Amino acid sequence: MNSYAIEDSFEKVAERPGISPPEVVRLNLNENLFIPKQKILKLLRDVAKECDLRIYPQEEELRLKKSLADYLNVTADHIIVGNGGDELIQQIARLFLEVGDEALSVTPTFSMYGHIVGLVGGKYLETPLNDEFTLDAHRILSMATPRTRMLFLCSPNNPTANQFDLDAIRFLVEEFPGLVIIDEAYVEFAEYSVVPLLGKFENMIVLRTFSKAFGLAGLRLGYAAASLEVAEGISKAQLPFPLSSVALRMGLKMLSNVDMVKRAVKRVKIEREKLIEKLNGIDGVKAFPSQTNFVLFQTDLSSGEAYRLLLRKGILVKNFGHILHLTNCLRTTVGLPTMNIRLLTALEEICGGSR
């Protein structure tokens, strides 16, 4: 299972000779820095003026659900909100899995699925993606047993950065004998969403987040869309006042500024394609296509050595090592242009120059 922990903090990296904390480039957690920080601060100040933190949230959750419903083109009773996508995954697992029940997924994918299934006493089973990072739908279905309750699909997938074929997903939702949870944390950077399928299938849950495209990773605000029955069941299982007034109101502010988010996403996509092209122009480096705000790449060096050499230069990426048949795999966030230049320059020095 891939670790979800932060390998090195700014402070730990800065302990190395010649590196100060402001010089550290963090490209390991897929954060979206294209959302203007000053704009977020302004919105947060507006929220601070509007909130009375002495009282519990009042109508904010309902207002956010209505705004999210408009954003997704569904009705508000299909929406569930939570403290980040991870908490919603945990709530779903606790509600629909009993000890000994099975949950399926693919490998490689987001490590939190297996971690949470294990926490609730379930059995987590995974099957490899095809060599092209595509789904083997029939092999997935063949793994289902009478104790299989759910299937997790991350699309676009972390860490492979590709979006799964819509027909393959539709086939799995139709044929799978349980809940299909489709994690669309990165979908704003991709080509399509499966949300329009919600009206056709009762066994589908779509997970979303404000952490990526909306640039609110530090706020911990996630949401999901599901059939009316499933959404009602999850909502009833939640504790009272599951979200703070600040988080709820910031979600509303960001949705009212969705054009700003769309502009940031457009910039990410432009920078992503530049980054992939330039990575592929470095000797000993191969980058893969991406439908996310990160890029998976290989180096001729061992990935552990490449990681350590980048770390010495104050650059944090994610080291995966082996992925399927591939070796020496690393993942980098699509950073701001200056950050990407730091990464590219360092890789040229480490790997021996550009082609």
Same domain, 195 and 222: yes
Q: Say if residues 106 and 140 touch (Cβ distance below 8 Å).
A: yes
Q: Shortest CA distance to 301 belongs to which of 317, 285, 289, 316?
A: 285
| Pairwise CA distance, residues 158 & 16, whole Å | 30
Give the pLDDT score at 3: 45
Q: Say if residues 280 and 286 touch (Cβ distance below 8 Å).
A: yes
Kindly report which listed range (14-18, 152-156, 170-174) carries the lowest average pLDDT score.
Answer: 14-18
C-beta atoms surrounding 203 within 10 Å: 17
Say yes or no to pLDDT of 15 above 70: no
Give the pLDDT score at 2: 43
Give the pLDDT score at 352: 75
Say yes or no to pLDDT of 106 above 60: yes
Range of the domain at 314: 10-30+259-351
Mean pLDDT of 130-141: 97
Q: Say if residues 224 and 234 touch (Cβ distance below 8 Å).
A: yes
Secondary structure tally for the chain: helices H, strands E: 12, 13
CATH code of residue 120: 3.40.640.10
Asked whether residue 18 is domain-assigned, the answer is yes
Mean pLDDT of 123-152: 97
* Residue 255 to residues 35, 63, 128, 251, 313, Cα–Cα distance (Å): 13, 11, 37, 6, 38
Residue with structure tokens 């991350």? Answer: 154
Give the pLDDT score at 13: 56
Same domain, 77 and 16: no
Kindly report which listed range (12-26, 102-116, 162-176, 180-194) carries the lowest average pLDDT score.
Answer: 12-26
Mean pLDDT of 224-248: 94
Query: Which one of 229, 256, 283 terminates a domain?
Result: 256
Asked whether residue 41 is domain-assigned, the answer is no
Query: Which one of 256, 282, 298 terminates a domain?
Result: 256
* Residue 47 to residues 53, 124, 254, Cα–Cα distance (Å): 11, 41, 11
Say yes or no to pLDDT of 6 above 90: no
Angle at which helix 303-312 crosses helix 337-351, to 10 degrees, equals 120
Say yes or no to pLDDT of 1 above 50: no
Give the pLDDT score at 19: 64
Give the pLDDT score at 353: 66
Q: Shortest CA distance to 278 belongs to which of 287, 291, 270?
A: 287
Choose between 318 and 242: higher pLDDT: 318
User: Over the stretch 53-101, which tens digit does the pLDDT of each residue have?
Assistant: 999 998 999 999 999 999 999 999 999 999 999 999 999 999 999 999 9
Same domain, 136 and 230: yes
User: Over the stretch 263-289, which tens digit does the pLDDT of each residue have?
Assistant: 999 999 999 999 999 999 999 999 999
| Pairwise CA distance, residues 66 & 297, whole Å | 40
Same domain, 221 and 247: yes
Asked whether residue 5 is domain-assigned, the answer is no
Residue 23: pLDDT band with limits 50, 70, 90: confident
Say yes or no to pLDDT of 109 above 80: yes
Same domain, 26 and 133: no
**Strand runs (DSSP E) across the chain, as ranges?**
25-26, 79-82, 102-107, 123-128, 148-154, 179-183, 204-209, 222-226, 285-287, 294-299, 315-316, 318-323, 326-333
Q: What's the number of domains the chain is made of?
A: 2
Q: Which of 4-13, 245-254, 346-355 has the highest mean pLDDT?
A: 245-254
β-bridge partners, 315: 25
Mean pLDDT of 134-143: 97
Mean pLDDT of 304-316: 96
Residue 12: pLDDT band with limits 50, 70, 90: low
Same domain, 272 and 214: no
CATH code of residue 326: 3.90.1150.10
Q: Shortest CA distance to 293 belongs to which of 321, 335, 323?
A: 335
Same domain, 281 and 249: no
Same domain, 124 and 251: yes
